[in-house]
Amino acid sequence: MAKVVIIGGSGHVGTYLVPRLVEAGHHVINVTRGHRKPYTPNAAWGRVETVLIDRDAAEHEGSFGTAIAALEADIVVDMICFVLPRAQQLVEALRGKVQHFIHCGTIWVYGHNTAVPATEDQPRNPFGEYGTQKAAIESYLLDEARRHGFPATVFRPGHIVGPGWAPLNPAGHFNAEVFSQIARGEELVLPNFGLETVHHVHADDLARLIMAIIANRSTAIGEAFNAVSPQAINLRGYAEAMYRWFGHEPKLSYLPFEQWKAGQDADEANATWEHIVRSPSHSMEKAKRLLGFAPRYSSLEAVQEAVSWLVDNAKVQGPQD
């Protein structure tokens, strides 16, 4: 089997990906800057080699790419590259030395969508530093693959969900108190009419997609794949479903965004704006057609599993708490 290096393998996706790789017989090396534990324990982590590298410091010295190349991996999965120069340094160091390079992108490369659900061949309209930098990395990697034979594949996650952290909530930000409000049956005020969309994905579905990319290497090289649940949900429908999940009838009201914003924490209001101005909604048809992959979790199933963990760990509190 293959030697697989995961850069940033202890995070949301690595929690699920690393055990899957180990169980498939691969030799897995997790490159990390610390000894962070995965969100969900698994005995497979006992068979993982850990290499400690501070990426920021190594890249500043110009040694990060060389250090990764020295690990002599067959497959490199980069979960934490956010600016183009970092991708370029890595590609130059790995050119001719790796069989497959898999980059974690983002659905934010789309910016706003012309038509929904958005497919991978639609024009991208990125805005904001994160989206534009990720779009630049993606363009560079796919060009390197198609013109110069560098074996790159890109996948574009939506809002990653799983037990152990707070999911993007029905108000469009990450404060778990919103779920507590819903659990208590209190009124929730949404911006506008609550019709903007968000598109979650369970971290294990991302792990499964990466496994499918690895299994279909020749098809996947030079391609980008959306990585989301089967359907996006709008804020209103999301909120209504969560009220009913907690055993309440929905209790919602609405305000124009600027009025709504005035009553919110500034950082949370900004997070909401960043999400609703994009209103992502994406198709998974390409992954199904080329890789035989389909996500298992709907957005609500993924969120409800995550919120169950929040409840069990007293991070979401209903009226009885």
CATH code for position 276: 3.90.25
Q: Are 209 and 272 in contact (CB under 8 A)?
A: no
- For 258-282, how does the pLDDT look when each residue is reduced to its tens digit (9 = 90+)? 999 999 999 999 999 999 999 999 9
Phi then psi dihedrals of residue 220, to 5 deg: -80, -25
- The answer, yes or no, to whether residue 318 has pLDDT greater than 90, is no
238 domain residue, yes or no: yes
In whole angstroms, give the CA distance from residue 302 to residue 294: 14
We report the CATH number of the domain holding residue 206 as 3.40.50.720
Mean pLDDT within 129-137: 98
Q: How far apart, in Å, do the first and last CA atoms of the chain sit?
A: 50
320 domain residue, yes or no: no
- The answer, yes or no, to whether residue 321 has pLDDT greater than 70, is no
- The answer, yes or no, to whether residue 48 has pLDDT greater than 90, is yes
Mean pLDDT within 96-123: 96
Q: Based on the fold, state whether residues 135 and 182 are members of the same structural domain.
A: no
Q: Based on the fold, state whether residues 99 and 169 are members of the same structural domain.
A: no
Please tell me the least confidently modeled range out of 37-41, 87-91, 139-143.
Answer: 37-41
The contacts of residue 252 (CB under 8 Å, 6+ apart) are: 187, 188, 189, 190, 194, 236, 239, 240
- For 61-109, how does the pLDDT look when each residue is reduced to its tens digit (9 = 90+)? 999 999 999 999 999 999 999 999 999 999 999 999 999 999 999 999 9
Tell me which residue range forms the domain holding 93.
3-160+200-227
Q: Based on the fold, state whether residues 193 and 151 are members of the same structural domain.
A: no
Q: Based on the fold, state whether residues 212 and 304 are members of the same structural domain.
A: no
* Count of domains observed in the chain: 2
Q: Based on the fold, state whether residues 103 and 24 are members of the same structural domain.
A: yes
Read off the pLDDT band of 34 (50, 70, 90).
confident
Other beta carbons less than 10 A from residue 148's beta carbon: 10
- The answer, yes or no, to whether residue 136 has pLDDT greater than 90, is yes
272 domain residue, yes or no: yes
149 domain residue, yes or no: yes
pLDDT, position 320: 65
pLDDT, position 80: 96
Q: Based on the fold, state whether residues 155 and 245 are members of the same structural domain.
A: no
190 domain residue, yes or no: yes
317 domain residue, yes or no: no
41 domain residue, yes or no: yes
The percentage of residues in the chain with a pLDDT greater than 70, rounded to a whole number, is 99
Q: Based on the fold, state whether residues 14 and 148 are members of the same structural domain.
A: yes
pLDDT, position 14: 96
Record the pTM: 0.97
3-state helix, strand, coil in the chain (%, to 5): 40, 15, 40
Read off the pLDDT band of 319 (50, 70, 90).
confident
One-letter amino acid for residue 288 of the chain: K
If we measure between CA atoms, which residue out of 199, 203, 98 comes closest to residue 141?
98
Read off the pLDDT band of 249 (50, 70, 90).
very high
The pLDDT mean for the chain works out to 96
The percentage of residues in the chain with a pLDDT greater than 90, rounded to a whole number, is 93
Read off the pLDDT band of 164 (50, 70, 90).
very high
Q: Based on the fold, state whether residues 145 and 186 are members of the same structural domain.
A: no
pLDDT, position 311: 97
Q: For the CA atoms of 28, 34, 35, 37, what is the dihedral angle to 10 degrees?
A: -80
Read off the pLDDT band of 196 (50, 70, 90).
very high
285 domain residue, yes or no: no
Please tell me the least confidently modeled range out of 59-63, 201-205, 207-211.
Answer: 59-63
